Structures are given as C-alpha cells and as structure tokens.
Chain A
Amino acid sequence: MSVSSNIATDGNSLVIQVEGRFDFSEHEAFRQCYELQGNKPDRFVVDLRQTSYLDSSALGMLLLLRDYAGGDEASVEIINCSQDVKKIFSISNFDQLFAIH
C-alpha cells in the first residue's frame, strides 16, 4: 500500500505519507487514513516526499481532507512537495487553501 499514516510525536498531528502516484486509485486508502483515527487530530500533515505524480482527483481528495478537518478552520499542511507537484498546486491555486511547503 502506498498510503500510510502515523501520529506525530506531539500527539496531535496526523502525518499522512503518499508514495508513488497519488491518484484516484488511492481514494479509499487515503480516506481511511484519517477517518479511522479514534480522536480527530488537531493538525493534519500530508507528506508528499515520496509522491511522484498527483492528478486532479488527488486535489479532490485533499479538499475532502480539508473539509473533514474543519473546512476553513482546518489546519492542513502539505510538505515536501517536489517541483512538479508544487507546480500543480500553484496552477490550481490550491496554495490559497493549504499551507504548502
């Protein structure tokens, strides 16, 4: 499985890693990563260090996470984006919705 998650050392953040292609085939795995958490974490971090490609359905999945995390009040960070992935975020202007590093 190429989607995995763990609670960060601060105990309040859920870190989700996506490996390889981030597209519709990861839909269930990605959703389960955050929905199956017992207590809803305060912060969500999506680590894309190992992500080679991301398509528009991945953007949709991130919107779902954002909605789950509280919509406009959500704290969702996207970290370790490659240049290609960053470009996709900047074209779609998702940097207006997420903290992207």
Chain B
Amino acid sequence: MVSQATTESILIADDNLVDRTILSKIVRQSGYSVVQAKDGVEALELYAQHSPRIVLLDALMPRLDGFAVAREIKNSPAGEFTSVVFLTSLTAADELASCVNAGGDDFLSKPYNKVILQAKLRALQRVQDLHSKMQQQSSELRKHNVHLVQEQEAAKAMFDSVATRGFLDAPYINYLLSPLAVFNGDVLMAAPTPRETLMLLLGDFTGHGLTASIGAMPLSEIFYGMAQKGFSVSDIVHECNRKLNSILPIGYFCCAIVAELDFRKQTINYWNGGLPPGFLIRPGAEATVTLEPEHLPLGVLPSTRISVVPKVIEAHPGDRLILTTDGIIEAQNLEGEQFGYERFAEEIAEPHEKCIEHLLAEVQEHMGEQSRDDDFTMAEITMQSPETAQVQFDSKSLEGELGADVWRSTYELRDCSLKQFNPLPMLVRLLMHCPSLNAHVGDIQIVLSELYSNALEHGVLGLDSTLKQSATGFQQYYEQRAARLESIKGSVFFEFDCDARQPEGILKIRVTDSGDGFDFRQCGGPNAKGNLGYHGRGLSLLSDLCHQVQHEGSGNTVSAEMHWETGH
C-alpha cells in the first residue's frame, strides 16, 4: 500500500523497550525501515544521521524529553519538512497543548493499534508528498524569480540609458529621477538641436515595470533622432504620438511635456499632454506662468485626431522652468492627504539654491512613515543667455561622419504610388545628410511640401485652385481630389542640387509634374524673387523662404533656390 515508501525510514524514540519493539514491528510491516532511539539525545543524533521524514516521539524520555527533541527538529534549517508524532498516553489538555506547541503534528496513544497507526502513516506520507511537491514548485518559482530579476536588471540598464540621456548634464539643468521599483515609468530627455535650442521631453508612462518601460525605447529613439535633425515640437509630438498609439495596447499611454527652449529668441515652445502644469518662475515680482496640459497624453488618440500646435511663452535669462510628473504632487501621508499642487507651487516659488533637494525634503517630511508609491521626478531648468546656454550643436555627430555637402539627386514617384506614399519624410531625411542644412529643416519641410502638393494637386490631378475660395468649393475640391487620386496616373519628378561649401550654401529644388502645365507668363509678371505673380497656386509663401522661386517650361516645373550661411 505504501509501496513507494520502502526506502523511507522512520525514527522511533521511546525509552521503553517493550513499546518501542511493538511500534517498530508495526511500522516495518507498513513498509518503512526503522531507526530506534532510547532517549532524546540519541534521537537527535539519529535524526541528524538518517534525516527521517517522519519521527515518532515519546513525550517523557530520559536526558532530553520529546518536547525538546520536537522543537529541535522543527527548527532545523534543512528545507525538508519533518512530521513529528507524539507517542503518548498523556491525556491532560495542557500536556497535549505542550505537544502541539513543541511542533507536534499528531498523536498516537497507547495501546498501539495497528490499523490506526497505518492510517496515520499514510496520511503523514501524503503530507510529505504534498510538501515535497510544494518544495519543488517553490524552487522552480525561485528560479523563475531569479531569471525575472536578471531580465529586469538588463531592461533597467537599457531603460536608464534612454530615460536620462543627452544634454541633462548641462549646469543649468537640475533633475530628480528616482526609481520606485527596478525601473519606473518616468523618462526625462534633453537634446540640443541644430537651431541651437534645447529640446526637452518629460514623460510618465502608465504603470510601472516592464510595461511602463517598453514605450520608452521608441520614444527616446524618436525624440533624439528628430531633435538632433532639427524637427519642431509639433513634429516630435506628432511622431511620438503616432508611434505610441500604434504600439501600446489600449489603456497604456504616456503623459508628456515636450518643450523647446530657445535661448536666442528667449522663448519656450511647449506642448503638454496630460502632465501636471509646468511652471515658469520669473525672478522678482513678475507673475509665474503655468504650462497647462491642454492635450490628451501621447498614445491615446491617433495622430490625425490630436492637435500638435505648441504654445509659445517668453522666457528670459534667470527664469526657471519647473516640470514634474504626478508623483510628488500625489505623495500621501499616513492620513491619505496628498502633498498637493498648491503646496508644490508654493515651495518652488521661492528662489532656492537647491530647489529640488529642498522640495524633496519637504515631501519626505509630509509623507513621514508612509512609503512612497510613485516616482518622484522633476526637472528645473534655468533660462540662459545664448552665450551661457552653450547648446553647441555638433553637427558631425549626426549620422556619424561629415555628411554630404556637394551632391545631386533625382527622385521620381509614379502612378499609384502617388496615392499610397508620402515621399516627403524620406526626402527631408535625404537632405539632412547635409549637416549645415539641419538648422533649416523647418523651412525645407515647408518648401518641399508646398512644391509637392502643388505638383500633385494642380499638376497631376489637374485640380482647380480657385475652387478653394468658397466654402462649398472647398468641400468640392477635396471630394474631387479624393476621387481623382483613386485612378491617378502620372508622375512627380524631384531634382536636388546641393552645394554647401563655404561661405554660403545653395540648394536648388526642381519639381516637375506630368500635368498639362499652364501659361504662367499670362498670369502676372515676374516679381523681385521670381515669376510667382500668380497667387492661386499657393506658392507665394515660398518666396519668403527662398532666394528665388519660379515656374519653368510649360508651367509644369517649379524651381526653388534656398541659400544659407554654412558657417564653417
């Protein structure tokens, strides 16, 4: 019946030879081997030698009684579980209680009854089996846990390398980023841009741990990649939102503020999606400006549905920009009272040498014994003059090498690809390989996009721009555009000619469409910068950004020429 127990041994400790002999017989008949001890001391010695999983102990024995033996066995550090059964004819309740207190798992009273004893042994064996199964599972769990911790540490190393990177070492940036768990959901990034401005991103992902950190990887790639290529706050917000919306499951998002500090123009461009208001604290009596959250967090809605238009505020040298996630504000004391936004505003308003340390001390005082349950993340940036800001952008760091200064390239997009593919991001990237052009990425985007939509809509699709002048026409225009795109045939041909040698760079862009063109000579004479007298085609905007813009050929080619200082 207990067949698998044949190799198991049971320790029997009883000073009475008669009782011990009877019990040993019964136990052997049940399929166990027996180790016999005649007193408590011997019992412990034999226990150490044989490590039996079941011990049958007489309560009263010479040298060391059964209670002491049981206590010793139960406290032994070995991971295995030992069942202790007291052999007793004790009947008083307090004596039975001392057996239990000493760690006894069961009793067996004299006279021994074979049937009862064997039933008890089977029950104890089941407990043993259950226990060893649990031991096995818990050792597997421990292994898994070790593995998980290792993975988390690797992830933390990766996360930390992206969460706080770039320009955060600048002397006018102070920040606090304290991890709650192995890693937290807060990210703080800063990067200089080719415009010699400072781009900042403070983000707070939903949740903690791995889920919170997953989104941080693409976010940091996008942020640093785009910031150093000179993309604007709107572009960065748009792309971050698009990416997070497409990769994060529903319910996960990132509250974030993206801000561009322009030390030359003395402005801050910011977009706040779901973070607590930031503060711009001005020295003296001037009122503090708050950077209110006006948008949903990144990743909640598709990019077509969010506004990425940033706000602009003036910021002068000495002004302090303070950004924080909700951790500090929501820090609770034992009574559940939050530190609160008002107190936060009050504490940071006073000029303080070590504003962050001061605030952290206040928060910890408020919390008292309460353990923190969110991350404390904040950043304080003191506005600088262009000279002290030293956001010197090292264009050589871009795409590695020196980049291409003198080059020509053409690119043609045809037929259905005109419907399916937007060539502009790719073309902008191509142009950004010329380092000194990075400072002008905004202008280049506008110029390219105007040229392309002109070629596509009025050239290939043959849409009449005068339609757009009335409200009904506007609607009609876009209906036609959509309808004609469906069966689009034709091409748009780009030519680039770049020479960025000193002292002035020149970029020539020619865009030719497969459309019929028009008689641009009849539509007003050339103006100072070219022949864009004709306003209907929306190209006049370009004349502000370009050295020269003009129609060529049969009116289906527009060429634009941009000039800039190369400065090296």
Contact = CB atoms under 8 A, between A and B. Distances in A.
Interface stretch (A7-15, A32-40, A42-50, A88-96): A88-96
Interface in A1-42: 24
A53 B336 CA distance: 9
Interface residues on B, range: 20 to 34
A97 B300 contact: yes
Nearest to A21: B336
Nearest to B207: A57
Nearest to B305: A72
A56 B204 contact: yes
Contacts of A99: none
Nearest to A87: B341
A91 B274 contact: yes
A96 B206 contact: no
B296 A56 contact: no
Contact of A93 (B206, B251, B295, B338): B295
Contacts of A24: 207
Contact of A96 (B204, B251, B296): B296
B294 A60 contact: no
B250 A64 contact: yes
A56 B293 contact: no
A88 B277 CA distance: 11
A94 B250 CA distance: 14
A37 B243 CA distance: 33
A52 B255 contact: no
Nearest to B254: A56
Contact of A56 (B207, B273, B294, B295): B207
A24 B181 CA distance: 15
B300 to A, nearest CB: 7
B206 to A, nearest CB: 5
A53 B344 CA distance: 19
B274 A63 contact: no
Interface of A: 24, 52-53, 55-57, 59-61, 63-64, 67, 84, 87-88, 90-94, 96-97
Interface of B: 204, 206-207, 250-253, 255, 273-277, 293-297, 300, 326, 330, 336, 338, 341, 374
15 contacts: A55-B374, A56-B207, A56-B253, A56-B255, A56-B326, A57-B207, A57-B251, A59-B206, A60-B207, A63-B251, A67-B250, A91-B293, A91-B326, A92-B255, A93-B293
